[in-house]
Amino acid sequence: MADRITELSLEAVMGERFGRYSKYIIQERALPDIRDGLKPVQRRILFAMDQDGNTFDHPYRKSAKSVGNVMGNFHPHGDSSIYEAMVRLSQNWKVREPLIDMNGNNGSVDNDPAAAMRYTEARLSKIAGEMMTDLGQETVDMVLNFDDTTYEPTVLPSRVLSLFINGATGISAGYATEIPPHNLKRNKWCFNLFTRSSGSTFICINALC
């Protein structure tokens, strides 16, 4: 038994454990990915709804169904945090271009809470569909989900400059972000100014404007 006991200083243990925790919070929870402008829970919501066929060209579905799919397949955390993230993506006073089209009480600019998920309905917005268009063409890496039963993307192959259009807010361990939203047409103008190629992002922005 004595040979299995290792003496370590509290400073070394706390530094190593907190370092691992901080890395997880920074990369997997609190801050958006610069490539698609989404936090992991937001990405999983959009991906799960897309896989379920809950898109802008189909009828609304109960929010509770989408939350259950996300929690059961990709995001094993509380249903309230998933629903709150879904509601935020639908509020046009918090994001410039909502990625979720919600039918029902999704809160107010006065910070009133949204109705319970069993009452509201939701589907992907049209602009969110543009973030999923190339998923089936092996454009991004796919990794196993938490219980190794299915795959999820590490990032969405977004044709939309979501990070600039909708902005982002997040507080992590030692890091924080506060990016304001920007007008879609201004983004198009800036992208046209700095990029002269005919890439897919440029084409998509022109189509959306």
Query: Which H helix or E strand runs over 19?
Result: helix 10-25
Minimal CA–CA distance to 86: which of 157, 38, 53, 143? 38
Residues 131, 160 contacting (CB under 8 angstroms): yes
Average pLDDT for consecutive 10-residue bins of the chain (209 residues)?
78 89 84 92 96 96 97 94 96 94 96 96 95 89 95 92 90 88 80 60 49
What pLDDT shows up at residue 15?
A: 87
What pLDDT shows up at residue 87?
A: 97
The neighbouring-strand residues paired with 143 are 152
Minimal CA–CA distance to 61: which of 38, 74, 76, 45? 45
Gap between the Cα atoms of 152 and 10, Å rounded: 38
What pLDDT shows up at residue 1?
A: 55
| 68 phi and psi angles, rounded to 5 deg | -65, -40
What pLDDT shows up at residue 28?
A: 81
Query: Which H helix or E strand runs over 41?
Result: helix 40-51
H runs (alpha helix) in the chain? 10-25, 40-51, 63-73, 79-88, 126-130, 162-166, 184-194, 200-208
Domain boundaries, the chain: 9-182
What is the CATH T-level fold of the domain 9-182, as seen in this structure?
Topoisomerase II; domain 5 (3.90.199)
What pLDDT shows up at residue 187?
A: 75
What pLDDT shows up at residue 136?
A: 85
The catalytic residue positions are 119
Residue 105's identity, in one-letter code, is N
Task: Output the pTM of the full model.
Answer: 0.85
What pLDDT shows up at residue 45?
A: 97
What pLDDT shows up at residue 173?
A: 84
Minimal CA–CA distance to 162: which of 208, 117, 118, 119? 208
DSSP summary character for residue 137: G
